[in-house]
Amino acid sequence: MTAKELEIKAYEARLLILEGVHCAKAGHPGGSLSCVDALTTLYFDEMKVDTANPRDPDRDRFVMSKGHCAPALYAVLAVKGFFPKEDIRLLRSIKGHMSGHPDMVNVPGVDMSTGSLGQGISAAVGMALAAKHNGKTYRTYAIMGDGEIEEGQCWEAFMAAAKWKLDNLCAFIDVNGLQIDGATADVMPSAPLDDKLRSFGWNVIVVPGHDYDAIRHALATARITKGAPTMILLETTKGKGVSYMENSVGWHGKAPNDEQYEIAVKELTAHLKELGVE
């Protein structure tokens, strides 16, 4: 896919993220909007998955380690065709199966149930380790948050991935710089993430997180890197694509009201129009 085609998919997904969170009157738009470009690139340009056979044992795996960004995962899975786009309207609803955090049992295409921060990356390590053990060539991907990595379990997982030289594992950290209580730099400084991860034995690539070609290039580099897992640090804007949500800590876990939703749809639709989508 071209960068432009990926961008169209990502903006379709953005519309679904907003629709889901607005319908639910709850959810996490900020971090969903910051990671959705990488997620779209994964599902439309990188990963081998089959919407008709979501549990194909040879498929590539994805773990949304920052599980509160389920709206982004569900949206991209819907755009990809794992389930009807209308299902996103059931996000967080008692009437449906689209629970507030990723649910591998009930949502087609979800490879791991997540939501409790720090746990998804361990499961991803387990999937990559199982691939090596079973002699399989599938790859495992994960997206983490830059707040999430404050959980100590992440660093346990980082050590383990390096120990077993999991070059079939590629994780992202969505470095949007914000978490619930404020800037990550204030809540719990984690910089320099690149140096820390390199010292943990990872191949680290820093990319502009909304640049599809840059993400794609990093993924290609990860694929040919041998003997070490790859971490792609995505420099992103929280709330990317909706003007009033961008870089605003308040939009971490809040749904837009009707008026705000209308503005968001207008902005995203206008962008799609610029891309040639009517």
Partner 1 sequence: MGEKKATRAAYGEALAELGAKYPNVVVLDADLAQATMTKHFAAAFPDRFFDCGIAEANMTGIAAGMSTCGLIPFTNTFAMFAAGRAYEQVRNSIAYPHLNVKVVGSHGGPSVGEDGATHQCNEDIALMRTLPGMTVVVPCDANEMRQAVEAMINYNGPCYLRMCRYAMETVTDEIPGYKFELGKGVTLRDGMDVTLIATGIMVQMALQAADMLAAEGISARVIDMHTVKPLDEELVLKAARETGAIVTSEEASVIGGLGAAVCELLSEKCPVPVLRHGVNDEFGRSGTAAAVLEYYGLTPAGIAEKARKALSLKK
Residues that bind partner 1 (CB under 8 A): 57, 61, 63, 103-105, 111-113, 115-116, 118-131, 133-134, 136, 152-153, 156-157, 159-160, 163-164
Q: The dihedral of CA 248, 253, 257, 258: what is its sign? A: positive
CB of 130 to partner 1, least distance (A): 4
What is the nearest approach in angstroms of partner 1 to the Cβ of residue 168?
Answer: 12
Write down the least CB distance from residue 156 to partner 1, Å. Answer: 4
Cβ-based nearer residue to partner 1, 36 or 49: 49
Cα–Cα distance, 234 to 37 (Å, whole number): 10
Contact predicate 216/175, CB 8 Å: no
Cα 6–Cα 58–Cα 160 angle in degrees, nearest 5? 90
Q: Which is nearer to partner 1, 40 or 99 (CB)?
A: 99
Q: What is the 3-state secondary structure (H, E, C) of 18-59?
A: HHHHHHHCCCCHHHHHHHHHHHHHHHHHHCCCCCCCCCCCCC
Q: Decide whether 164 or 261 has the Cβ nearer to partner 1.
A: 164
Residue closer to partner 1 by CB (options 155, 261) is 155
- Tokens coding 74: 């569900």
CB of 202 to partner 1, least distance (A): 15
